[in-house]
A and B are shown apart, each in its own frame.
Chain A
Amino acid sequence: MAAIQLKQLFKRYGAGNKTVNVLHGIDAHIDDGEFIVIVGPSGCGKSTLLRMIAGLEEVSAGDIWIGDRLVNQLEPAQRDIAMVFQNYALYPHMTVFDNMAYGLKIANVATAEIQARVAKAAGILELGHLLQRKPRELSGGQRQRVAMGRAIVRQPQVFLFDEPLSNLDAKLRAQTRLEIQKLHRELGITSLFVTHDQVEAMTLAQRMMVMNGGVVEQFGTPEEVYNRPASTFVASFMGAPPMNLLSKVPDVPAGQVLGVRPEHMHILPASDGTGWLGQVEALEMLGAERLVYVRVGDEPLIVRIDESTQPPAVGATVRVGARADRLHWFNAQTGLRVAQGADA
């Protein structure tokens, strides 16, 4: 197990005036045994970052430290890491056992030791009865577990996950999420998990790195990221439905953006003296809650109300209120959070 240090990490493709900058100086310190989720929209550089740590992409500038080793120039196999790929990348002609054992065989681990390690990993992942099967005879979830087993048997310093759940159906994904959490608790190995799914990010992360356009927008615990987003991007990316970002409603000073999450807003009767006057445009029933789409002046916003609350009629004029202690202020130019009382 090891800590990971990223220092001013850059990635560029091409040369001359055709250079494309993918990562713009990533700095991060990841503690030994932490579970970090790297999340962001597609094209933000999160997979590139992971592949650079894995050694599958070259580093354009900057340093990657795993433990006390600078690994920039090391081959993937020498970095003492293991990776779970999105499509699992199992060797189709090898049995489950051979898939898991292959890396150890190359590393000249003794046969008895290989047997023991594979048996142990198979036990943890409940793959014991499948060891002699070929990958094509397995279901998607089983293949995913074999891919994890292949990572576990190497007993690496670091686990890297590249969107490993995106090929599973919703139910299996939730289940596997829990299994990965359990696995991390048991093995305590430093893990980096890339995903574009914010639910996965929130549920798995001890700390999460929210990336956009090749830079880290925020690096913190899920609570921090959700409750005190560092920028308008983070505010709108995390949470479904996203945070309302308002600049044209009354009470918002020029040059600032007000962020309020839908669940921190409520509908008031039009006769109420507080809040903003607006018109209900649509209603959505989501089971336990309802989304009310209201237009205040030019600004559309979403209010989340309890299913038990009587919803307003579509087209009705209502007032919309927000919880004063849950307001987020951002600079309209930079998009960055403006320090406020609640941050202290």
Chain B
Amino acid sequence: MIERNRWLDVLSHMVLIVGVGVVAFPVYVTFVASTHTMQEVVQVPMPLWPGSHAWENYTTALFGSHSGATPAVGRMMMVSLITALVIALAKISMSLLSAFAIVYFKFPFRMAIFWAIFMTLMLPVEVRIGPTYQVVADMGMLNSYAGLTVPLIASATATFLFRQFFLTIPDELVEAARMDGAGPMRFFKDVLVPLSTSSMAALFVIQFIYGWNQYLWPLLVTTEESMYPVVVGIKRMISGGDAQTEWHIVMATAMLAMLPPALVVILMQKWFVKGLVDTEK
């Protein structure tokens, strides 16, 4: 169906432009606010053109102020980065292996186990946060990378995705590998993993952002500033009560916090789309 209507073109472009504007404007405001001094930010109306204090605001945000009033975001970014990477990579390898087991091995209660994994989709961290906290606290994993990552690693979604992908691999390919003398792990390493690369890349993007954006869980398990991820850090900077919030630093931190996920999406865009769209068989 090809519509050749000029006005329809104009209209759809208008809708798109408005949509982009709605999404992009707050980001722009954040950026603008991060380039002014505090006095300029809090005045009404707020300036809408970038100011000249970008450099000092960002260095203050990254390394902390001389007075020690604002914490160093650099350290938080490190924590976030490590957490997000560990979560994304561990999720991928765990779910690859569990999907491999479910699809290619016959063991008792195989389907029961698959459905058990599938059911956990209905139990995200937020629902089971009380008991999970208890377990993590009892195991002494508070304020550690293990505490930040381990409870978030199991992934029904990724397991399901890989299972569906493995089911599309023709049986004949499995049989050909058997004829070639490839054992199960060899088949996994030489055939399944290379064939899954694009799905893995797509999952990495999704799971990295998922890990990076975690807020509620890190808020619970971290009590020391050195283990705060940046998302929690931003919230901590917005002081309640009488204390003054340094909005220009908060905005600079927010910009910094947005950067790594954006970079991951931009750099892996090609793979991401490929992984979601085509299944190379």
Contact = CB atoms under 8 A, between A and B. Distances in A.
Q: Do A and B bind each other?
A: yes
A317 B271 CA distance: 74
B182 A85 contact: no
Interface stretch (A19-27, A88-96, A228-236): A88-96
A77 B180 contact: yes
B111 to A, nearest CB: 18
A87 interface: yes
B172 A106 contact: no
A107 interface: yes
Interface string B127-154: 0000000000000000000000000000
Chain B residues touching A, majority SS: helix
Given A92-B195, A93-B195, A103 B172 contact: no
B176 A89 contact: yes
Given A56-B175, A89-B175, A92-B281, A102 B180 contact: yes
A89 B181 contact: no
A86 interface: yes
B179 A86 contact: no
A54 interface: yes
Counting chain B residues whose Cβ lies within 8 A of the other chain, the interface size class is 10 to 19
A76 interface: yes
Contact of B179 (A90, A92, A103): A103
Interface string B153-175: 00000000000000000101101
Given A77-B180, A92-B280, A86 B172 contact: yes
Contacts of B191: 91, 93
B112 to A, nearest CB: 21
A225 B279 CA distance: 46
Nearest to B280: A92
Taking each of B176, B179, B191, which has the highest tally of chain A beta carbons within 10 Å of its own beta carbon?
B179
A103 B181 contact: yes
A76 B281 CA distance: 24
Nearest to A98: B190
B13 interface: no
Contacts of A77: 178-182
A119 interface: no
Interface in A56-72: 56
Interface residues of A, number: 25
B175 A85 contact: yes
A93 B170 contact: no
Taking each of A54, A83, A93, which has the highest tally of chain B beta carbons within 10 Å of its own beta carbon?
A93
B193 to A, nearest CB: 10
B172 A89 contact: yes
Contact of A106 (B175, B180, B280, B281): B180
Contacts of A75: 178, 181
B194 interface: yes
A93 B176 CA distance: 14
B53 interface: no
B195 to A, nearest CB: 6
B178 A85 contact: no
A258 interface: no
A201 interface: no
Contacts of B281: 92
B28 to A, nearest CB: 43
Interface string A122-159: 00000000000000100000000000001000000000
A102 B173 CA distance: 13
Nearest to B171: A89
A82 interface: yes
Interface string A216-229: 00000000000000
A27 to B, nearest CB: 26
A56 B177 CA distance: 11
Contacts of B170: 87, 89
A196 to B, nearest CB: 18
Contacts of B182: 77, 102, 106
Contacts of A82: 179
Nearest to B195: A93
Nearest to A56: B175
Interface in A238-282: none
Interface of A: 54-56, 75-78, 81-83, 85-93, 102-103, 106-107, 136, 150
30 contacts: A54-B179, A56-B175, A56-B178, A75-B181, A76-B178, A76-B181, A83-B175, A83-B176, A83-B179, A85-B172, A85-B176, A86-B172, A87-B170, A88-B172, A89-B170, A89-B172, A89-B175, A91-B173, A91-B176, A91-B190, A91-B191, A92-B280, A93-B191, A93-B194, A102-B180, A102-B182, A103-B179, A103-B181, A106-B181, A106-B186
Given A56-B175, A85-B172, A107-B181, 4 more contacts: A77-B182, A81-B179, A90-B176, A92-B195
